[in-house]
Amino acid sequence: MLDILDNLQERYNAKDFALCKKAYDFAKKAHENQKRASGEDYFTHPCAVAKILADLGLDASTIAAAFLHDVIEDTPVSEGDIKKEFGDEVLQLVLGVTKLDKFEFTSKEEEQAENFRKIFVAMAKDIRVIIIKLADRLHNMRSLNFLSHERQQRLARETLDVFVPLADRLGISQIKCELDDLCLKYLEPEFYEYLSTNIDVMLKETEGLIAHVQEELKRLLADSNIKGEVFGRRKHLYSIYKKMKFKNKTLDQIYDLVAVRVIVRTVDECYEILGKIHHEWKPVPGRIKDYIATPKPNMYRSLHTTVMTNFGKIFEIQIRTYEMNHAAEYGIAAHWKYKENKKDENELDSRLSWIREVMEWQGGLKDSKEFLNSLKGDIYSSEVLVFTPKGDVIRLAKDATPLDFAYNIHTAIGHRCIGAKVNGKMVPLNTVLQVGDVVEIITSQNSKGPSWDWLKIVKSPSTKVKIKQFFKKEMKDENIKTGRSMLEAEAKRRGVNLSEILTDESFLRIASKLSFTSQDEMFASVGYGAVSTNHVIVKLLDFYRKSQPVPEVSTFVNTKKSGSGGVTVKGMTGLLVRFAGCCNPVPGDDIVGFISRGRGVAVHRSDCPNLKNVENDRLIEVSWNNYASTSYNAGIKVIGNNQTEVLTIVAGAVAQLKLGIISTNGRTDSRTKQVIVEFSIRVGDKTELDDLIKKLQQDSKIINVYRTTT
């Protein structure tokens, strides 16, 4: 194993080598006494992976991460340990690899394989993570013979479906070809056996001819005064297997078992020597390919031609520059190859970001379009791919929520959804799903059906249609009647008549907020419980009060004179200033003043939804000023599983931060059984409020916390 260190010492400068050596020692200790299936020390595996990556020319951070790639998963070493010893860059690489390890690809369907590749790429934020993963897989495939037959088949299949295409797209043909052949060995053992023995026999027969062609080519180079080299290379078995299988050829019908390669210094020389070759030997029609003018999607560049030699044998000849040859072998990894010559520290970073840019770029450049699409897909623009607990991939619209997921699985699952887990943790139903999330839906037979609020949460139009269809069925006269009298009663309880606050105009205003299309729809949904009476009446009252000449008296909490402390109105003194009760601004919030008729200026948070529809000329610039001596009321909503628990936790946090609770108001959601408690909290400024919210968010018993506006 020590030879890997010698190898690294030769390749890297002192500082980089020191990093590699440190990772080597660290991983060796961490994996001490662990064994592989082969009986070897486990540590031989990370060493082999590091060696593959060093041969590809990757940077020292990648090599360090390669040594460490299994320690988080398989040893007691923690993330913090790695961060402390090796810094964030190495940690992120290790975490990236660890995260990808969690997915086992099981489906055999072609489309799922494509999805899986996309997830893979999208989740590995740094392209080096994928290259480490490829090296990891390559070494695991090399030592596959120690595993059970079943496991061999599964890994080989997965390698062929997921890893080989990735290596191909990244242009790393060295890894791709070796993986190809290893897959063939385990998936088609008889074919593999047949090919490897027979090819050797055929190659023996043609050995002399190949040597002759190479000599002729060297002569052509010398005659044309072009400096270059000539190599003969056997094609890898899988490419021959593919030709036999899909083009229905027998082994002796394949005339390009060996590719002869001519490597020169410039593009001009490539074309020049191609002309000379065609002058010497007749080209086979339709077999000339110019991948220099039109590179392959993975950036492969070369000239290919197949010629009939004057001694009656057909050969394929590839012509390229040294640079192209290098890129063909190493693909994207070639970008790290000569890092030792780097001029400044940031060069690698800029190269990395360039690669990302290229990979994420959606437009233009025809040649690489397929490359980009296949690699990045439209993940970043319009869709997100997530897993079911069984590992099936579900394709959803970008920003989709667990509800979209539930309805995507089955409408009935959506209707009965009462909660969701993402990656094993309970989450609110409006959580935005991320690529690669494992989503589990919790349903209940007792669920009465979707909630009207869901229409605002769900992302996909088809989910909305499904929810609306459910509500349509409930549009019965009976529900409409019940809903109307429920609203009338609630209005009366608050001292108004429903007919007074529910007008065509006010309905139009709240209809868009609540996604209703008609008053009957609103009554019906109240009638069977999809929307609470409170919800509707508060909105109606709010609109009603705003349209009244003397509004909002009760909603103002603190009253102050402008300039005397708290808030200053731009360019004015002596104005009455009030704080709006709907959004309860506190010092530190972005604020704006609303000039109310005859009642001075009401100060709102600038993101207060109630300001959305007011005329701009009634808004005025205001700012915080000398507020330290006063306290302010702010509203927060806390969601948990148990009311006493929520109260205890919030009271504890408030006491600890030396704030005060003004009021609380709790209820239980009939569908989710979650407890929702609204608090009015006395704070000095926004920082104090933010501290409280952060503290509550950190408590595992609290499901969600947010600041409220009514």
Provide the H-helix boundaries in 425-561.
454-457, 461-473, 477-493, 498-501, 504-514, 519-527, 533-546
Whether 73 is a known active-site residue: answer: yes
Site membership for Mn ion, residue 94 (CB under 5 A): no
Contact between 130 and Mn ion per CB under 5 A? no
Q: With CB under 5 A, what is the number of residues at the site for Mn ion?
A: 2
Measured from the CB atom, the residue of 73 and 111 that comes closer to Mn ion is 73
3-class state of residue 187 by DSSP: helix
* Least distance in angstroms from the C-beta of 31 to Mn ion: 11
Min separation Cβ 69 and Mn ion, Å = 6
Nearer to Mn ion, 103 or 361 (CB): 103
Among 59, 70, 161, 521, binds Mn ion (CB under 5 A): 70
Task: Round to whole Å and give the CA distance between 56 and 76.
Answer: 30
Q: What count of other Cβ atoms lies within 10 Å of the Cβ of residue 283?
A: 15
* 383-386: long-range contacts, CB 8 A cutoff, minimum separation 24: 384/433, 384/434, 384/435, 385/115, 385/118, 385/119, 385/122, 385/435, 385/436, 386/433, 386/434, 386/435, 386/436, 386/437, 386/438, 386/439
- Of the residues 25, 32, 40, 73, which is catalytic? 73
- Separation of alpha carbons 586 and 633, rounded Å: 7
27 in contact with Mn ion (CB under 5 A): no
Closest to Mn ion by CB, 42 or 543: 42
Nearest position to Mn ion, beta carbon: 136
**Where does residue 569 rank: exposed (0-12), middle (13-18), buried (19+ CB within 10 A)?**
buried
The total of other beta-carbon atoms located within 10 Å of residue 537's CB is 24
Nearer to Mn ion, 35 or 493 (CB): 35
Closer CB to Mn ion, 70 or 521, in the complex: 70
- Residue 42 touches Mn ion, criterion: CB under 5 A: no
- Token pair 């062929």 in the structure block, residue: 160
Give the amino acid at 107. S
Binding span for Mn ion by CB under 5 A among 64-72, 84-92, 117-125, 666-674: 64-72
* The one-letter amino acid at 235: K
Which residue stretch of 16-24, 70-78, 146-154, 607-615 sits at the interface with Mn ion (rule: CB under 5 A)?
70-78
Q: How far apart are CA 377 and CA 396, in angstroms?
A: 14
At 90 the three-state DSSP class reads helix
Extract the tokens encoding 99.
């995260």
Stretch that binds Mn ion, among 69-77, 396-404, 524-532, 604-612 (CB under 5 A): 69-77
| Residue 93 or 258 having the CB closest to Mn ion | 93
State the minimum distance, in angstroms, from the CB of residue 136 to Mn ion. 4
| Least distance CB 46 / Mn ion (angstroms) | 7
Measured distance CA(233)–CA(213) in Å, rounded: 13
**In the complex with Mn ion, which residue's Cβ is closer, 34 or 665?**
34
Instruction: Assign 682 to helix, strand or coil.
Output: strand
Q: Is 521 a residue that touches Mn ion (CB under 5 A)?
A: no
| Residue 266, SS3 per DSSP | coil
- In the complex, the smallest distance separating the C-beta of residue 39 from Mn ion, rounded to whole angstroms, is 17
93 vs 417, which CB is nearer to Mn ion? 93
Q: C-beta of 40: minimal distance to Mn ion in Å?
A: 13
The region of 129-137, 141-149, 155-163, 346-354 touching Mn ion under the rule CB under 5 A is 129-137
| C-alpha–C-alpha distance, residues 457 and 89, integer Å | 36
Q: How many CB atoms lie within 10 A of CB 256?
A: 18
180 binding Mn ion? (CB under 5 A): no
CB of 66 to Mn ion, least distance (A): 9
DSSP 284: P
Q: Is the dihedral of CA 513, 519, 520, 524 positive or negative?
A: positive
Selection from 214, 238, 222, 247 nearest residue 164 by Cα:
238
- 337-to-11, 14, 60, 295, 351 alpha-carbon distances in Å: 10, 17, 11, 21, 12
Minimum CB separation from Mn ion for residue 101, in Å?
7
404 is a catalytic site residue: no
Among the residue ranges 133-141, 417-425, 537-545, 647-655, the one whose residues contact Mn ion (CB under 5 A):
133-141
Catalytic residue among 74, 89, 488, 691: 74
> Least distance to Mn ion from the beta carbon of 17, Å?
23
Choices 132-140, 211-219, 516-524, 605-613; region in contact with Mn ion by CB under 5 A = 132-140
One of 16, 126, 136, 437 touching Mn ion (CB under 5 A): 136
Candidate ranges 135-143, 169-177, 567-575, 689-697; the one touching Mn ion (CB under 5 A): 135-143
Q: Which is nearer to Mn ion, 48 or 526 (CB)?
A: 48
Rounded CA-CA distance 667/403 in Å is 23
- Residues carrying an active site annotation: 73-74
- Interface residues with Mn ion (CB under 5 A) are 70, 136
